[in-house]
Homo-oligomer: A and B are copies of this chain.
C-alpha cells in the first residue's frame, strides 16, 4: 500500500479524515516495535513523547529514593501513555516507561501534537475527550485508594481491567496497588478459599 492509513483508523478511532489530513498525520505518527523489557522512557530524559499502544503492554512507573518501583499506569491496546508532568510542562521525566511484553506502538512528539492541533482541530477535540476519560478514571482510583483496603483494591483492579490482568505478573499488580508481592499473594489465597 502506498499510503497505509490503517494505523490512523486505529489511533484516531471514530474520526474520519481527508487525504490531505491523512498525509499530515502519517508524517508525524511513528510506528515502532519494542521487545519485551525495552525501556521507552527513563527518568531525567525529556518526556516529550506520547505513546499509543497498538499491541502489547507498557508500564509507567516511578522509582523512589529507596530504589523501589511503583507502577502508576499500565497501557494495553488502544491506550495512550506518557509522563504527564514531563509531557505537558516540557519538563524532564520523573517516571519510566517499559514494555512488559513485545509491543508495537505509535509515537507522537509534543511538537507534532501541537502541529496536529493547529492543522486538524478535531484531533484536539479527540485528545480532550481522552483527557476527560483519564481524569474520571483517576478520580475513581483515588476514591478506591482512599476508601478500600488492599483486598478490595485488588478486586477493583481485576474488575476494572480484566484485559490487563492477564498480561501482567503479580508483582507488577502489587506495585500498582501499592502493596508487596507477599501481601498480594495472601490476598489472592484468601479470595480463592471463599
A residues with CB within 8 A of B: 62, 64, 68, 70-73, 83-85, 88-89, 94-95, 117, 121, 124-125, 127-128, 131-136, 138-143, 145-148, 175, 178
Contact = CB atoms under 8 A, between A and B. Distances in A.
Given A131-B135, A132-B131, A143 B62 contact: yes
B135 A72 contact: no
Interface secondary structure of A, over-half rule? helix
A143 B88 contact: no
Contacts of A133: 88
A134 B135 contact: yes
Contact of A147 (B62, B124, B131): B62
A84 B121 contact: no
Contact of A142 (B128, B131, B141, B143): B141
Contacts of A127: 128
